[in-house]
Chain A
Amino acid sequence: MSIPSSTRSTPIDPKFANSVGIVTPQTMHFDTPLALECNRTLPEFDLVYETYGELNADKSNAVLICHALSGSHHAAGWHSAEDEKPGWWDNMIGPGKAIDTTRYFVVCLNNIGSCHGSTGPTTPVPESSADGTPGKPYGPDFPLITIKDWVKTQAMLSDRLGIQVWHAVVGGSMGGMQALQWSVDYPERLKRCVIIASTPKLSAQNIAFNEVARQSILSDPDFNQGRYLEAGTYPRRGLILARMVGHITYLTEDAMKSKFGRDLKSGKFMYGYDVEFQVESYLRYQGERFSKNFDANTYLLMTKALDYFDPTRDYVSDDTLSDLEALKQTFKHTRCQFLVVSFTTDWRFAPARSQEIVDALMANDKQVSYVNVDAPHGHDSFLFDIPRYMGAIKGFLNAPFLSQKQQTATDVNTDAKSRTQESLT
């Protein structure tokens, strides 16, 4: 099929300088049932996506962007001239930027289970579904989705777009997990894999934070067992709390200190439980804002997808293996070149977690580069315009591709035993 060109347009406003300009999301409908890891099936689904740049004749310049927990298909550009903000990765994607839309055809899709347009808990249940009541929102009847499921749907979209091999698959945080999963599930279908601020699997502490977030939502009386849309309620407070705790993990102590310190809103203690410290005000504001644009069931589903992520599960049968050994086995059949990026102050997915990925790849003689970017913004750093970070991505994507040479154990020259022992002054 031909690639629709409706998502491209010429910049018309000064704020669109260095931008892909006005973009329009598109929808791809899939009416073949999708078997999910949880052993349930989605009878049909929609994927909403955006594209930037032009696909070249041999379809070799396509770059796939995978979004993180709160992200969407709207990675770059503007939906209208009135928009206050561009797409979530507009500093990364655009003409002349790290992911250069004058060179690459960039695709970003919204994952299923999300609430930004692709089929998810807020979508009406189709007649063909075995779950839920047709016509009513899926709500809690929407199946749990895994990173692997997402990657499967992304591959289905690739097929429809006629992209057999991605020039690169790129993602940060949860998006990095998808990129990693691509490299092991579809080794022939990508040349480069960029894994940013991510981890090979969540730690107990990561899961613990997610559980607090989930319990905040689940224990909100307005949650109504997830049928809040039907009940006409909304677990706003739960979602705010969930986001507040999540947000703390994205920042750093230093960043909070420099931004808020112990500053008080009114300059003095009020001896009560209303907002007093600036940091409280900020967190509540962020939570409020988030709760207006996000779906509670989606938040639950996304955090579970994070918790379940463990690419070794399908590739390692021996559960006595160490984490490194298991990851090493998992990466055995990958064929792409990797770039792994971490940020020094990220404690959610700390540099050590990225290094686990790097070490497992190197233990397999895989092609990998690793940068640990010094940045003050914690986990959120991957969304910031940091020259060194952008430079590494740009260089990696544009570099000549060195095809994987077969490793052959070469005997080291042993004939050079002719040691010359001259006298030293």
Chain B
Amino acid sequence: MRLDHELAKQWISPHSRVLDLGCGDGSLLEQMQHSLGVTGYGLELDEEHINQGIAKGLNIIEQDLNDGLARFADNSFDTVVMARALQAVKSPDTLLLDMLRVGREAIITFPNFAHWQNRLHLGLKGLMPVSEALPYEWYNTPNIHLCTFKDFEKLCADNDIDIINRFAVTDSSPASKKYSPFMASLIRKAPNLLADVAIYRVTKSK
């Protein structure tokens, strides 16, 4: 399973209620259902993914995240998860606030546009970055709102959103697992430069 999924799972309480935005084929939801006994729904737009999720016995709802979460009541979930979809929605700021309206906490992962490889791509080659975390050409990318660790934290600060945890993932491995303690601490200290995927756990300021 994907690493940001593995990490996100650590912040989900057993038997809690989870809403998974852009749930793909439902693999995260399935994992959480089996290992944590969570209940909830996955929202997805891709036809093939929806059918794959349904065939796993999951609750998959066909919905465009750009339509917002109006159908869900306030505080109806413990956690709202959105893995690598923030950068692809029309209004990430509105959606983020909506996530924290329907859920008490939100877990968000996104590709970090300020990763050093992206900077090299753009700064030296003069080309829009293409990488493992951003595998598209500029003309066919669904990623219309790319951001960085710094950008996201500014958005949170501007909207009274508290950051509970932050994970910096590099080359699709958590900084603490793959590297020597020295490198790991470097990545933790400079995630905006060294990590290619950001994982945040946030809540609304009380």
Which residues of A does B touch, CB under 8 Å? 337, 339, 355, 358-359, 362-363, 365, 367-372, 374, 388, 391-392, 394-396, 398-402, 405, 407-408, 410-413, 416-417, 419-425
* Residues A425 and B39 in contact, CB atoms below 8 Å apart: no
- Is B55 an interface position by the 8 A CB rule? yes
| Residue in B closest to A355 when the chains form the complex, CB atoms | B71
| Residue in B closest to A393 when the chains form the complex, CB atoms | B54
Residues of chain A with a CB closer than 8 A to B33's CB? 402
Contact with A417, one of B72, B79, B164 (Cβ below 8 angstroms): B164
Residues of chain B with a CB closer than 8 A to A398's CB? 55
- Is B131 an interface position by the 8 A CB rule? no
Nearest 8 pairs between A and B by C-beta? Answer: A395-B55, A399-B57, A425-B193, A425-B190, A425-B192, A400-B57, A410-B16, A391-B51
Contact with A410, one of B15, B150, B153 (Cβ below 8 angstroms): B15
Residues of chain B with a CB closer than 8 A to A391's CB? 51
Among listed B59-67, B88-96, B122-130, B132-140, interface-contacting one: B59-67
The smallest C-beta distance from B73 to any residue of chain A, in angstroms, reads 7
* Residues B14 and A410 in contact, CB atoms below 8 Å apart: yes
| Residue in A closest to B39 when the chains form the complex, CB atoms | A405
Residue of B55, B162, B194 with most partner-chain A CB within 10 A: B55
Residues of chain B with a CB closer than 8 A to A365's CB? 17, 39
Contact with A405, one of B37, B50, B52 (Cβ below 8 angstroms): B37
Contact A410 to B163, CB < 8 A, known contacts A388-B47, A424-B192: no
- Is B179 an interface position by the 8 A CB rule? no
Residues of chain A with a CB closer than 8 A to B60's CB? 369-370
The smallest C-beta distance from A378 to any residue of chain B, in angstroms, reads 19
Whole-angstrom CA separation of A20 from B13 in the bound complex: 48
| Residue in A closest to B33 when the chains form the complex, CB atoms | A402
Contact with B104, one of A358, A368, A371, A412 (Cβ below 8 angstroms): A412
* Residues A412 and B165 in contact, CB atoms below 8 Å apart: no
List 16 interface pairs A-B (beta carbons < 8 Å), by A numbering: A359-B71, A362-B41, A365-B39, A395-B52, A395-B54, A396-B55, A399-B56, A405-B15, A405-B39, A410-B14, A410-B16, A410-B17, A412-B79, A422-B188, A423-B190, A424-B149
- Is B78 an interface position by the 8 A CB rule? yes
* Residues A339 and B54 in contact, CB atoms below 8 Å apart: yes
- Is B191 an interface position by the 8 A CB rule? yes
Whole-angstrom CA separation of A405 from B34 in the bound complex: 12
Residues of chain A with a CB closer than 8 A to B164's CB? 416-417, 419
Residues of chain A with a CB closer than 8 A to B204's CB? none
Residues in B83-112 with C-beta less than 8 Å from chain A: 104-105
Question: Interface code B15-39, partner A: CB below 8 Å = 1, 0 otherwise?
Answer: 1110000000000000001000101
Residues of chain B with a CB closer than 8 A to A388's CB? 47, 51
Residues of chain B with a CB closer than 8 A to A410's CB? 13-17, 78
The smallest C-beta distance from A139 to any residue of chain B, in angstroms, reads 45
* Residues B190 and A420 in contact, CB atoms below 8 Å apart: no
Question: Interface code B40-55, partner A: CB below 8 Å = 1, 0 otherwise?
Answer: 0100000100111111
Residues of chain B with a CB closer than 8 A to A339's CB? 54
Whole-angstrom CA separation of A367 from B53 in the bound complex: 13
Whole-angstrom CA separation of A87 from B53 in the bound complex: 31
Residue of A371, A407, A425 with most partner-chain B CB within 10 A: A425
Residues of chain B with a CB closer than 8 A to A368's CB? 41, 59, 61
The smallest C-beta distance from B199 to any residue of chain A, in angstroms, reads 12
Whole-angstrom CA separation of A424 from B150 in the bound complex: 7
| Residue in A closest to B190 when the chains form the complex, CB atoms | A425
List 8 additional contacts besides A339-B54, A419-B162, A424-B153; criterion CB under 8 Å.
Answer: A362-B71, A369-B60, A399-B55, A400-B56, A405-B15, A410-B78, A412-B105, A425-B193
Residues of chain A with a CB closer than 8 A to B114's CB? 425
Whole-angstrom CA separation of A56 from B193 in the bound complex: 61
Residues of chain A with a CB closer than 8 A to B55's CB? 394-396, 398-399
| Residue in A closest to B26 when the chains form the complex, CB atoms | A369
| Residue in A closest to B76 when the chains form the complex, CB atoms | A363
The smallest C-beta distance from A106 to any residue of chain B, in angstroms, reads 20
Residues of chain B with a CB closer than 8 A to A358's CB? 61
Whole-angstrom CA separation of A388 from B71 in the bound complex: 25
Contact A396 to B78, CB < 8 A, known contacts A411-B13, A416-B201: no
Whole-angstrom CA separation of A400 from B33 in the bound complex: 13
Contact A422 to B191, CB < 8 A, known contacts A412-B78, A416-B164: yes
Residues of chain B with a CB closer than 8 A to A359's CB? 71
* Residues A416 and B165 in contact, CB atoms below 8 Å apart: yes
Contact A420 to B149, CB < 8 A, known contacts A362-B72, A399-B57, A408-B15: no
Whole-angstrom CA separation of A399 from B51 in the bound complex: 11
The smallest C-beta distance from B78 to any residue of chain A, in angstroms, reads 5
Whole-angstrom CA separation of A391 from B149 in the bound complex: 40
Contact A402 to B163, CB < 8 A, known contacts A355-B71, A391-B51, A422-B189: no
* Residues B54 and A424 in contact, CB atoms below 8 Å apart: no
Residues of chain A with a CB closer than 8 A to B57's CB? 337, 399-402
The smallest C-beta distance from A261 to any residue of chain B, in angstroms, reads 30
Residue of A395, A401, A411 with most partner-chain B CB within 10 A: A395
